[in-house]
Amino acid sequence: MDIKEWKDKLLYSQKNGWDRLPQEEEAPLEAYCTAYKAYLDAGKTERCCVKESIRQAEALGFRAYQRGEALKPGDKVYRNNRDKMLLLAVIGTAGMERGARITAAHIDSPRLDLKPNPLYEEAELGYLKTHYYGGIRKYQWVTIPLELRGVVALRDGQVVEVAIGEGEEPKLVINDLLPHLGAEQSKKTLAEGIGGEQLNILIGSRPMEGDDSERVKTQLLRLLYEKYGFTEEDFISAELEAVPAVNAVDIGLDRSMIGAYGHDDRVCAYAALKALFDMEKTPEKTAVCVLADKEEIGSDGVTGMQTAAFDTFMDDLCEALGTPLKTCLERSFCLSADVTAAYDPNFGDVYEKRNSARLGYGVGLCKYTGSRGKGGASDASAEVVAFARRVFDEAGALWQMAELGKVDAGGGGTVAKYMANRNIDTLDAGVPVLSMHAPFETVSKLDCYMTYKAMKAIYER
């Protein structure tokens, strides 16, 4: 062999995905990203995501599955877990006997939840108190337009959907100090500059007629009652989430990226969902797509990835198809589809260049996550990684190998370990993100599309 041949054979080098993108995939990539942006705009909370996903699934023939119903290959079913988690499956020709091909993503994103007693008036301004959800950098959430989404459950059991700030509606905002008076604040660290109890949302300033006290607050309660029919006490049984009032847009003169709120992890959720929808024929192994809630706060609770609702759904499918659940799980494969950090040259010192995901290099595979010496990682086995490499290469899904950052810089984890703990071979894979957990995150269109191709390959091959 000459030197070039030796080099090509022996050296591992990742290459920019745009150089490797076949001409005929340009149009499908753009079409995919357009549909993804619409999904983001419709799905700014986990409840909105579940609703939009079910709408799309039902249009393609998926039906809500009830325990005990007979199943046959090709059946498309879903289960809505409390409007916040969604499980979907396409029954394979081999039923559950040979295991399932699972993708698990999450549809909750960092945001500001309203406290149970949120509304107050001070200095004739109306405010809502919040308790942030997930790992946010608090200073990023001030002076940006916000909208309020969620539900208020009334005492009589009726559930009212709330969407304040949607479309042309007025927005809400959290204010910050002007630089002229910010000298003391500026001496604080980024983490302390804006405190959790300062994340109070400005919601009104015009008093109601009369000479009572708290006239701004009363006016706001009147407006809420007129529009939604709930009173101050009803905030107690509500889930209202303040999210950035910004829709997804293209970023860059070359339109190579997408900026939006909630890429983490709807960018993988949409890839997992769309790939399930787009399978060309009935797969051999049953394809399962899990869109989970509560990942950002530890995957606990009835709608988080640790919930028995997943096992129950799988067991229901297994029973209908005559396979013991444990047999199915031990033969299954799961792609834990969550975003990873993209290398950011502006903050190069927290990344390890040789093992960081790069924007535009394809779906990022993480053998392990965790922090302080892989702590809390499920650490996929070598065989599992080799399997994924092969499947993705055969399907033309461009991929890259990644770690979250420098060994001692910090770390993170996702739902992978909760799947692996169930005796399912699991590998982390997802889209590299810039400014992860910020109100406005950036991803590469190429990586979005390649993640979709990767999910599809896992279901089909």
Kindly list the residues in this chain that would bind Mn ion in the complex (CB under 5 A). 264-265, 338
Measured in degrees and rounded to the nearest 5, phi and psi for residue 21 equal -80, 120
Q: Which residue is nearest to Mn ion (CB)?
A: 265
What is the closest distance, in whole angstroms, from the C-beta atom of residue 225 to Mn ion in the complex? 36
Distance in angstroms (rounded) separating the CA atoms of residues 141 and 459: 38
Q: Is 192 exposed, middle or buried (0-12, 13-18, 19+ CB in 10 A)?
A: exposed
What is the closest distance, in whole angstroms, from the C-beta atom of residue 338 to Mn ion in the complex? 4
11 three-state secondary structure = coil
Nearer to Mn ion, 320 or 335 (CB): 335
17 three-state secondary structure = helix
What is the closest distance, in whole angstroms, from the C-beta atom of residue 436 to Mn ion in the complex? 6
Residue (of 411, 415, 416) closest to 372 by Cα position: 411
Nearer to Mn ion, 286 or 336 (CB): 336
Nearer to Mn ion, 61 or 298 (CB): 298
Nearer to Mn ion, 109 or 323 (CB): 109
Distance in angstroms (rounded) separating the CA atoms of residues 399 and 395: 11
What is the closest distance, in whole angstroms, from the C-beta atom of residue 414 to Mn ion in the complex? 6
What is the closest distance, in whole angstroms, from the C-beta atom of residue 106 to Mn ion in the complex? 6
Structure token pair of residue 49:
């995501």
Nearer to Mn ion, 265 or 460 (CB): 265
Q: Is 37 exposed, middle or buried (0-12, 13-18, 19+ CB in 10 A)?
A: buried
Q: Return all residues near 156 (Cβ < 8 A) that are at least 6 apart.
A: none
Q: Return all residues near 207 (Cβ < 8 A) that are at least 6 apart.
A: 124, 215, 216, 219
What is the closest distance, in whole angstroms, from the C-beta atom of residue 263 to Mn ion in the complex? 9
Nearer to Mn ion, 219 or 299 (CB): 299
Q: Which 3-state string (H, E, C) describes 107-149? A: CCCCEEEEEEEEEEEECCEEEEEEEEECCCCHHHHCCCCEEEE
What is the closest distance, in whole angstroms, from the C-beta atom of residue 268 to Mn ion in the complex? 8
Other Cβ atoms within 10 Å of 74 Cβ, number: 13
Nearer to Mn ion, 81 or 414 (CB): 414
Nearer to Mn ion, 92 or 430 (CB): 430
Which of the 8 DSSP states describes residue 342?
Answer: B
Nearer to Mn ion, 18 or 133 (CB): 133
What is the closest distance, in whole angstroms, from the C-beta atom of residue 429 to Mn ion in the complex? 12
What is the closest distance, in whole angstroms, from the C-beta atom of residue 343 to Mn ion in the complex? 18
3-state helix, strand, coil in the chain (%, to 5): 35, 25, 40
Structure token pair of residue 322:
């005559």
CB 241 within 8 A of CB 112: yes
